[in-house]
């Protein structure tokens, strides 16, 4: 770009070069271990990546992109834990939840299509017919959004991520708190993703949330009920 053209753009109030590149970025960022699983090193705009097996994995996929200014919508998941999302690094003020996307297929399709128009990432946990899923994949490709079907069969997805949670650490018999676990994620797909890949992802990861650990006081070994003072049980 010539010098004068740059000057004109600045005069017109067009933002700095950084803004332009993020607006046009072809791939949305995801954190390290997950990037290795995806053939594009991130979530490519216009692609469909189906997720199964772990809500935390879905939220972790949304995290880096929303933190960088993208907007994400989660459809049909009324029990989505926003606090866990925040702890995994999702910027929750750029997260929209549509817990009940309508009754019929056509309403669900309209809702998801409307969200694909405006959001960068749209996760859908409502099962749809084969025809609807195809239409929505096309819509995502056209609108340069990332469609993330979650825990529902979705024929035609570019990549399918299946999580198998491993054992938790940190919790013992009567003391400790849940700390983290390693989730094995297997990626299969079509085209560039045809070669299956596998990665072990700690969820929550080490660098996710500033975890506040309380001081742990070991509980006394349980004694027979009769020895207790008659305080009111809860």
Is 54 a binding residue for other proteins by CB under 8 A? The answer is yes
Closest approach of other proteins to the CB of residue 18, in Å: 13
Kindly tell me which residue out of 9, 25, 67, 96 binds other proteins, with binding defined by CB under 8 A. 96
- Min dist CB 210 to other proteins, Å, is 8
Name the DSSP letter for residue 120.
S
Taking the C-alpha atoms of residue 41 and residue 124, their distance in angstroms, rounded to an integer, is: 22
Report d(CA 187, CA 157) in Å as an integer: 11
Binding part of the chain for other proteins, among 33-41, 63-71, 129-137, 188-196 by CB under 8 A, reads 63-71
- Closest CB to other proteins among residues 39, 126: 126
Span 159-188, contacts to other proteins by CB under 8 A: 165-168, 171-180
Which residues contact residue 48 at a Cβ distance below 8 angstroms, ignoring those fewer than 6 apart?
137, 140, 146, 147, 148, 149, 154, 156, 157, 158, 159
CB 171 within 8 A of CB 72: no
Instruction: Rule CB under 8 A: say whether 133 interacts with other proteins.
Output: no
Per rule CB under 8 A, count of chain residues that contact other proteins: 71
Indicate whether 71 belongs to the interface with other proteins (CB under 8 A): yes
Q: Does 102 bind other proteins (CB under 8 A)?
A: yes
With beta carbons less than 8 A apart as the criterion, state whether 91 and 42 touch.
no
For the record, the structure tokens of 167 come out as: 């054992």
Give CA–CA dist 22/163, Å, rounded: 29
Tell me the window of 2-10, 73-81, 131-139, 187-195 that interacts with other proteins (CB under 8 A): 73-81
Angstrom distance (rounded) from CA 42 to CA 159: 12
Contact string 13-42 vs other proteins (x = CB under 8 A): ----------x-------------------
Binding positions for other proteins, 141-160, rule CB under 8 A: none
């Amino acid at each position: 770009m010539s010098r004068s053209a740059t000057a004109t753009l600045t005069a017109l109030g067009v933002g700095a070069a950084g803004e332009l590149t993020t607006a046009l970025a072809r791939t949305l960022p995801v954190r390290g271990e997950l990037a290795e699983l995806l053939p594009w090193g991130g979530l490519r705009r216009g692609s469909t990546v189906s997720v199964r097996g772990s809500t935390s994995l879905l939220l972790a996929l949304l995290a880096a992109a929303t933190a960088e200014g993208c907007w994400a919508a989660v459809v049909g998941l009324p029990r989505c834990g926003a606090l866990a999302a925040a702890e995994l690094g999702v910027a929750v003020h750029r997260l929209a939840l549509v817990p009940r996307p309508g009754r019929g297929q056509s309403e669900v399709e309209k809702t998801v299509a409307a969200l694909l128009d405006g959001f960068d990432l749209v996760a859908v946990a409502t099962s749809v017919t084969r025809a609807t899923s195809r239409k929505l994949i096309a819509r995502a490709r056209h609108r340069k959004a990332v469609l993330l079907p979650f825990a529902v069969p979705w024929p035609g997805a570019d990549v399918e991520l299946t999580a198998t949670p491993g054992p938790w650490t940190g919790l013992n018999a009567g003391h400790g708190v849940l700390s983290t676990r390693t989730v094995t994620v297997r990626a299969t797909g079509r085209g560039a993703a045809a070669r299956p890949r596998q990665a072990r992802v700690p969820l929550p990861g080490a660098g996710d949330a500033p975890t506040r650990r309380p001081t742990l006081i070991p509980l006394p070994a349980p004694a027979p009920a009769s020895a207790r003072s008659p305080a009111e049980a809860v």
